[in-house]
Each structure stands twice: as C-alpha cells, then as structure tokens.
Amino acid sequence: KQQLAMSLNLATESSEKNELAGQPSFQSISEFYAGKNVLITGITGFLGKVLLEKLLWSCPQIGHIFALMRPKRGESIGARLDSLLASRLFDRLRQDRPDFRSQISPLQGDLYEPNLGLSQKDIELLIRNVSIVFHSAATVRFDEHLKIAVQMNLEGPKKVAELCERMPHLEALVHVSTAYANCDRRVVEEAVYAPEVHPQKLLDAIEWMDDDVLEQVTPRLLGQKPNTYTFTKQLAEFYLTDRFSHLPIVIVRPSIVGASWQEPLPGWVDNFNGPTGVFAAISKGLLRMMQGDVRCKADIIPVDIATNIIISSVWNFRLFSRQATVYNAGVGPGNRLTWGDVERITPSTLCATRPKASSGCPRPASPPTRCGATSTGCLITSCPPASWISGCTLVAAGLCSSGCRTALESRPGLWTISPAGNGCSTTPMCSALWTECPRLIGLSSTATPLK
C-alpha cells in the first residue's frame, strides 16, 4: 500500500506540473498518458480487457490503472483479475514486463449500487488521483428488460459522471456508446441527438413503475428503436452531455466489435457474442439459413482498432478541443463488407483452417468448372454467377455427413437440394440455367422445394 501511495503521488505531481507549465505539446499518445492515473469500468468485458492490455503495452509509463470490478460466483475481485491476466491476451506483456500487475488495482464496486458500490476509502482514492475515466461497462443484450437496461446503460453512466464531478484532476470522461445508438436515422453525424423520451423522466418512472407495467409500455417508449440496447445508449449520450455539460466528456461509438486484427495477436476473441457467434455457427454447420438482406453492410470493426480509437480520442480531445466530442468508430465505405460477403467468405475461410473431420466443413474442393462453380463433393459454392440470371444466389450451408444440402435464394422463394444428394435446386426463374450448370459439375437436376 505504501508503494502504491508513493507511485500515485509521483504520477499526480508529474501530471500537475505539466498542466501548470502549459505543456500540452504531446509528442506522442504514449507520452500524453505518462504519469496519468486511469479508472476503467467494464474491464472484464471483451472491449475492456483489450483496452487494459493496450494501455499497459503502448503506454508503459502510465501511472496507475484502477479497475472497477465486482465479486462473481464466490470469486473475489483479486482472483477475478488474476484469472483475467492469465489469458493469452496478456502474453506479450508477461514476456516484456513480468511485473505489469503492479500497475493495476481492482476496486470492488457495482454499477447497480449507490455510489457505484465503492467504499468511502476507495472513493477518496479515486477523487485524489484519477485524471482519465473510461466507462465501457454496459449490458449489450438486445432483449434486455427495459428496467435492467436503464439501470445499467443510463443510470450507470450517471453515477460515473457524478463521481467524475468530484475529481479535481479530471481531463476526460470517455463514454463508450455504440454506432447504433441513433440507428433510426439515415445519417448519423458526430453529434448528440435529443431523444423523444427525456432520460430523467424515464429514470423517475423506473423508480415506481413495476416490471409488468413497464414491459407493457416498452414498445411505445422505444418508438423507432429496435431494442432496449440502442434506446438506452442514445438516452445516455444525451443525458451525459446535457446534465453534465461542464465535464470534459468524450463519446466513442464503435460499430459491431469483432475479433482483433493484429493486436495483441491476430484473430483473438474470447466470446460468441455478435458476429463471432454467427461465424462459429456457420463453420460448425449449425446455421444454414438466416433472414436478412445480403446487400446490407456488415460494419464489423476489429477490437484492437476500436480500442486504439478510444485511447487516442482522449489525446485528440485534449489537444484540439475542450468541448464534448463524439467519435463515430466504424469501418466506413473504404473497406465495405456486406452480409452477402460474410455468407460467402465465412465457410471457405473457416473450413480451410479447420480439421477435415470437422462436421461443418466440406471435403477438399475440386478445380473450378466452366460454369464458375466449385464441386466440393457434397457442397456447391458460388454457382451460378450473378451475371447469368438476376436474383439467383447459391448459399453454402450443410453437413457432408447428412447428405448434400444447399439452399438457393431467389425472388420467388426458397428451395433446397434433395436430401439424398445429387439434386440441384431450381425455380422457374432459374430452371434453364440449372439444366446446364448441374450437368457440368456432375449433378443431376432433380429439385425439391423447401417446405
């Protein structure tokens, strides 16, 4: 405890001297964070873990990182932190700086509790020392009951902001929102939009309204919002910038956060949330059909890119602006990926890197044929080309062990291959094509409609 107190004093004094000397000319983001003490909420979540690792790796001179955590299933916060740090995610830190654990202090707290569930001693510790707060804790379930979503995604940020009001050295409160907080708008600029329901009125109603009544009025409250997640995220953005306009607030809106691109290792992910669950289900052969528009954009941003934006947003905010700033963190049109691309890429990519005995992957493919298709023994991909007949797209789906099953999507309806195999799907629109294409890849043209 004495060593922690000394390091905190030195870090705080160093940060104060730089401010007094008028030295905002930061040479790098790493130098900007040097000596600064940070509080992170949601550190056990997917994004929170990567944020912690990246701060320690790229900003080794950072002062101290406080992590708001709660005990879970009889496991103390210290044990939970040790388990978290034992992950492969922190391998490079262990090799480079084996003592990095000394820069992290878990603090017992809970966003559902008054004062974040923090003890008075811990509150005073944070008030004296913290200059940057990253609030990433949230419930990301789309079907969450409105009361829980409000308590976590609206009242939680409110409590964090109230704590920040008491921090004399506060430089930034970073609220991690979502790019879909305003999904009911065709164009979403880097601005905060007023909701139809005032957040404070909803907070007041939650106090006295029972769960059954609240569930009945939820559809009317949501309006054009598709779920309670996006609804409460927009409310939090407006509430923070309206009620706490005197605070240095930064809002970062990541789109769909997926596996890492490069750091700390390519493809790292530790859950089946969001797109990861879809990819895994496709590769295992469990997901064979999904309703949606193949032309819609799959705005999946790697978690390391989202983390870089969150960390650099504070540096940019302090250097160029002192007013509330919003950063939309999406892929954008420069690297466009549609759900149709996901439909084609996922089976070929995952099956190429998995054991041949995997139940969801086809046998090795034979060379392409004249019709542009590839026969894979029991699975056919990318036949026919879209240029042959408008509206016909072959979708890879099925298990080799249960016979060749392929779904053909066309405007008249959905059709499927004969379970016995050797049958190729067809519709009146595509019948002429399928008379020729199956023959070229060695399949008969017997088709069976999908019941």
Boundaries of every domain in the chain:
25-262+300-334
329 near 250, Cβ under 8 Å? no
Q: Cα separation of 147 and 211, whole Å?
A: 7
How deeply is 84 buried, as exposed, middle or buried, from its count of CB atoms within 10 A (0-12, 13-18, 19+)?
Answer: buried
pLDDT at residue 19 in the model: 52
Q: What is the CA radius of gyration of the chain?
A: 26
Give the right CATH number for 25-262+300-334 from 3.40.50.300, 2.170.120.12, 2.40.40.20, 3.40.50.720: 3.40.50.720
Q: Cα separation of 190 and 175, whole Å?
A: 14
pLDDT class for 433, splitting at 50, 70, 90?
very low
- Cα three-residue angle 171-235-165, rounded to 5 degrees: 30
Q: Cα separation of 169 and 181, whole Å?
A: 30
pLDDT in tens, 367-405: 333 333 333 332 333 333 333 333 333 333 222 222 233
pLDDT at residue 94 in the model: 93
Choice between 330 and 371, residue whose per-residue pLDDT is larger: 330
**Section 272-284 average pLDDT:** 81
Mean pLDDT for the chain overall: 76
276 near 269, Cβ under 8 Å? yes
- Cα three-residue angle 115-119-42, rounded to 5 degrees: 60
Our CA dihedral for 234, 240, 245, 248, rounded to 10 degrees, sits at -110
pLDDT at residue 357 in the model: 47
pLDDT class for 288, splitting at 50, 70, 90?
confident
pLDDT in tens, 100-150: 999 999 999 999 999 999 999 999 999 999 999 999 999 988 889 999 999
Three-state SS for 161?
Answer: helix
How many CA atoms within 13 Å lie on the side-chain side of 222? 21
**Section 236-265 average pLDDT:** 94
**Section 296-315 average pLDDT:** 92
SS (H, E, C) 84-111: HHCCHHHHHHHHHCCCHHHHEEEEECCC
Percentage with pLDDT > 70 across the chain: 71
Choice between 344 and 438, residue whose per-residue pLDDT is larger: 344
pLDDT at residue 149 in the model: 94
Q: Which of 18-22, 162-166, 334-338 is least confident?
A: 18-22
pLDDT at residue 93 in the model: 94
Q: Cα separation of 307 and 60, whole Å?
A: 16
311 near 55, Cβ under 8 Å? yes
DSSP state letter for 365? P
